[in-house]
A and B are shown apart, each in its own frame.
Chain A
């Protein structure tokens, strides 16, 4: 049997105070490569062992801040440069909305990067198993003893001196610990065939069981693919009809219920002459008109019809509704514009029913009256 390689000398203590004392003495003696093993964290150990403060925090800071900045830049790129969309009337660069995401990315990148750094820095795996594992020493310091281990690769290490040092500290069961031959000879490799095979098996089992669980076992109401319904979607083909179109025109010579066709298409003058407002000037109708006006008209025309758009210049402002021209229009002309649209104003016939359109006309009249009151109104 060949000589075993010495890892270090161990000694055991009974109380936390004595282990703190031992750690202090060992660091005073000048030992650098020694370790303390205790069943639970002993307060004040860092100082006693003269351990420098961990530098891991700097890694967290750097990774965290780079997370913050990259999140900010990414959102700037997506929502300002690459694909600007107005969301909720906010500016493209909406910093308050970015802050929660920047915060989350900071925390996430700091946490993950810190753990990875720690693993890379601290676990430089020389062996699969640490020499202290499966020793009597480790068994004892995992239950009720406090142990110190002075390593043989320390510059000051000298077998007899270390033994004497531990004896002077009144350590019990002072014993050498050796490297395990089998461990030192078999270096682990990340590309070990068995290890790769194990990873593959684990990956297949995890992804397979997740797939089966989500798609076969838990295939319940919220997961039943609401997009795939047994009906014709817009633009879909349908073999039932000879032309193959899914979308159909109404049958000729018929109209659907409640859907009177508009007789004055492209005839604004006739609409002005022939159409009259069927609604009376009642509070109810005015309120209906105001409600619909505020929803559909006010974004561009402004709440009072002054043409002061709220759309921040993203759509051209319309002219005021208080102009001479519009005031002299017949009700039918306004009704016609709402129904058919005019210039870049689109038709609102699908958003507003006939009655609602007439109510809006009433409300516009009320607005006009309010800004251009006649002498007689004051009396």
Chain B
């Protein structure tokens, strides 16, 4: 059943120890600042911890979505670097550790956990069938288990294929991906609702899950693009990844930049038009008391700059420019999550300081370390995949 993948020029190389050092440095710096933040301002720190959690969830879950999407769509252009996306999907494993501090501070974050407040509030008490601590706990554990289950199924088959080169494993993974997709749609929506929308339990937006989904895909894609460009430059990947591949990654980033803007604007426009006080307060708390410039900045950082940065063909084909834009988008996703979460913590004034920078460093450090740990003793290219040759030969 094996396919002629003999022409493929790939030999496994161990990652340079520099990468691990950089990862450890970022992680250690971030961790020290985070701990210091918890000691000085625990509530603010747990809000930032929530931002970090959602950021890592975006990368992990988005990557898993991408792996499944490649199988389902039968895409070949992304096969040569699918393993890298699989490795980043392992971010899902650190989520419980990152979520624990948030979970222990749940009373500081989520108003609906205060039963005395809920009982006096008709809106909240009628929502309490969904928003209550036991059900919340069950949900986050169940979601986590679902993700780990599908992660293990998909990546195990993919890795097995490296050794035995069995085409049927691809078919199996296609089926697993098809089952995963509805679970993905539900879990990403309800994760966004549980962790972020319920910060303001009176507020509701039916598009919120899609909004978070668009950011999820962007985060996963930009992390993968950064890793692919850097690894390919230093010869860790299979020979033959060229500007046509970069172009496709860039085009998808560009598409989802537009998708995000479309969704974000749809959410804003309806609320702005209807002008109902139970909906507008959410945007007002992101507009008043110094948050206005941060909100206007979101449109620039998350849409206009990457839009024009990725608009032309050369900007997607040139690895250096694409690398810059990918890092930009990754930071923009952090910006977006900060905008979603932090105004709930500080309605009175805009906040940004050393604590926030620490959590950003921590997030990037975790991503680098995850790549270092999960890429150990692994092929960085799915050498047994029947689509690999076609993926390398992919031309626009």
Contacts and interface: CB of A to CB of B under 8 A. Distances in A.
A99 B275 contact: no
Contacts of A244: none
A127 B268 CA distance: 54
A250 interface: no
Main DSSP-derived SS at the A contact region? helix
B273 A53 contact: no
Nearest to B270: A96
A104 B268 CA distance: 18
Contact of B268 (A61, A88, A96): A96
B395 A96 contact: no
B396 A100 contact: no
B273 A88 contact: yes
A44 B395 contact: yes
Contact of B269 (A57, A88, A96): A96
Interface string A95-109: 011011000000000
A100 B269 contact: yes
A97 B273 contact: yes
A257 interface: no
Contacts of A99: 265, 269
A53 B265 CA distance: 33
Interface of A: 43-44, 53, 57, 61, 88-89, 96-97, 99-100
Contacts of A88: 273, 275
Max chain A Cβ within 10 angstroms of own Cβ: one of B313, B395, B396: B395
A53 B247 CA distance: 14
A43 B395 contact: yes
A207 B275 CA distance: 44
Contacts of B395: 43-44
B272 interface: yes
B355 to A, nearest CB: 33
Contacts of B396: 43
Interface string B249-272: 000000000000000010011001
Contacts of B275: 88-89
18 contacts: A43-B394, A43-B395, A44-B395, A53-B313, A57-B312, A57-B313, A61-B311, A88-B273, A88-B275, A89-B275, A96-B265, A96-B268, A96-B269, A96-B272, A96-B273, A99-B265, A99-B269, A100-B269
Contacts of B268: 96
A308 to B, nearest CB: 16
Contacts of B312: 57
Contacts of A43: 394-396
Interface string B131-172: 000000000000000000000000000000000000000000
B120 to A, nearest CB: 21
Interface of B: 265, 268-269, 272-273, 275, 311-313, 394-396
A63 B275 CA distance: 34
Q: Which 5 A-B pairs have the closest CB atoms?
A: A43-B395, A44-B395, A96-B272, A96-B269, A53-B313
A44 B240 CA distance: 14
A43 B244 CA distance: 11
A89 B273 CA distance: 10
Contacts of B272: 96
A97 B395 CA distance: 42
B276 to A, nearest CB: 12
Nearest to A97: B273
A194 B268 CA distance: 56
B151 to A, nearest CB: 33
Contacts of A57: 312-313
Nearest to A43: B395
Contacts of B269: 96-97, 99-100
A235 B19 CA distance: 84
B284 to A, nearest CB: 14
Given A88-B273, A88-B275, 5 more contacts: A53-B313, A57-B312, A96-B265, A96-B268, A99-B269
A89 B269 CA distance: 15
A97 B265 CA distance: 11
A69 to B, nearest CB: 16
B387 to A, nearest CB: 16
A202 B373 CA distance: 70
Contacts of B394: 43
A88 B271 CA distance: 13
A57 B311 CA distance: 10
Nearest to B265: A99
Contacts of A96: 265, 268-269, 272-273
Contacts of B311: 61
A99 B303 CA distance: 14
Contacts of A89: 275
Contacts of A44: 395
Contacts of B273: 88, 96-97
Nearest to A95: B272
A371 B308 CA distance: 57
Nearest to A61: B311
Contacts of A97: 269, 273
A61 B308 CA distance: 11
Nearest to A20: B395
A97 B275 CA distance: 13
Nearest to B393: A43
B253 to A, nearest CB: 18
Nearest to B269: A96
A245 to B, nearest CB: 43
Nearest to A58: B312
A43 to B, nearest CB: 4
Nearest to B262: A103
A164 B358 CA distance: 70
A96 B394 CA distance: 42
A322 to B, nearest CB: 24
B268 to A, nearest CB: 7
A335 B80 CA distance: 81
A307 B221 CA distance: 55
Contacts of B265: 96, 99
A96 B275 CA distance: 13
Nearest to A44: B395
